[in-house]
Amino acid sequence: MLQGSARFFRDSRGGRRNLSILWLFLARVWGWLRAAWRALTAASGPLALATWSSIVQDVARTRLAAPVCDARPCVLRGERRVAIVTGGNTGIGFETVRGLWLAGYHVVLGCRSEARGEAARARLLSGPENGKELADRGSLTVMPLDLSRLDAVVDFATLFRKHWNGLHILVLNAGIMSPGCYEETADGYEAHLGVNHLAQYLLVRLLEDLLRQSQGRVILVSSILALLANELRWHGAQWSKRGQWPFLAYGWSKAYNYICALELQRRGLDALCVHPGEVHTEVVRRLPSWLQRAYDFVASWMLRTPAEGAATVLWACFAEVSVSPEACHQGSKAIPGARSPYRSDMVLLKSAERQALIADAGRRLLQMPSWMRAPSTGQQLWSLSEHAVQPYLSRTPRSQSDALNNCRHSA
């Protein structure tokens, strides 16, 4: 009898233990299901249904709503304006340079390869646009700018200041996309973070005073893939050297571009962020050759041309901004001192519109998730970025006499 009682108590304890394990397992499964549901229903993120719905719709509109910018020659009244276009030797940057140059701007092409930059400059000068109106154009200047090295950004800013004392448009177009493998910049940052955000943030900070005194504008070229980012964890993988899946890192960097544009607005600088659409460019040049060939095949009939992508960037360069409550009610009437050389195409952007991601040459304004628009998010990103580039904000650049001698202008 005593042995039977002992066996009963042992079996009871084992049953309770097994039941506890079962409840723990079910609780864990329930937690996984809740996390999956939150990820699927989130406003953004790599698993969010809203993210992929927006991406699919954007791809579907690629050919159906491709914008066009009429880059006809037009001389700006008064003093010639100065513009910088990073990555101006190819793709969207090249077409943006063409549009600004035809509008009478002195355009600086910031290129990692000076040889490719000079080749792009030669193509523009020998293009079919050149005729009797050539004297009305601006000038084209090539300067070295390697965004993978923060000290090279400092050198570029110093070299620019030796030639010009004002800056009216800064187009931050250059970027990389390396979805296949993890890479780091020369400064030890994940490549997408370093090139697509930190280097461009540093360039804005170094030229900020020129932009303010010239009432200039910053255009940041982002992407619909910014929706791959979910709410920021400021000490998470995106700021560590170990990094994360590179394709997601690209999405994070594009989200940083958008957040940075809004924070620049809050700090009193004219800034806009654009999404040029799905464009056939050289952004995939870091992929394996077979993937590049597949991309070129699909792009030839599905994606936009660089000129169509640049139409949105140029629209943002020339769009007017409402500067007072009265101006917000003037409809399409242009405010005095218009920037745009295309008098019939001017548009007044209200405050709410400036906080959108601009697409399709202003015909579509994408409302990004509320966490991206939150002032606290912008302040945190600004603080982290400032801390990352602080050693370069006060650094004395290297001597650039050779670079000055190699810098050439077109009349």
Active-site residue set: 250
Q: Angle at CA 371, nearest 5°, toward 367 and 375?
A: 100
Angle between helices 91-102 and 306-318 (to 10 degrees): 50
Q: Which two tokens stand for residue 295?
A: 């991309």
Is 273 strand, coil or helix? strand
Put residue 283 in one of left, alpha, beta given phi > 0 → left and psi -120 to 50 → alpha: alpha
Q: Angle at CA 248, nearest 5°, toward 244 and 253?
A: 100
Q: Is the dihedral of CA 189, 191, 192, 195 positive or negative?
A: positive
71 phi/psi in degrees, rounded to 5: -90, 55
Note whether 370 and 43 are within 8 A (CB). yes
Q: Is the dihedral of CA 209, 210, 215, 218 positive or negative?
A: negative
358 phi/psi in degrees, rounded to 5: -80, 130
Q: Which two tokens stand for residue 124?
A: 């523009």
Half-sphere exposure of 67 (CA within 13 A, CB side): 23
Note whether 228 and 177 are within 8 A (CB). no
Angle between helices 246-266 and 199-213 (to 10 degrees): 20
Max Cα-Cα span within the chain: 115
Q: Which two tokens stand for residue 368?
A: 């990004």
Find tokens 């509008």 and name the residue. 103
Note whether 144 and 108 are within 8 A (CB). no
Note whether 203 and 143 are within 8 A (CB). no
- Closest C-alpha to 108, from 130, 136, 131, 140: 140
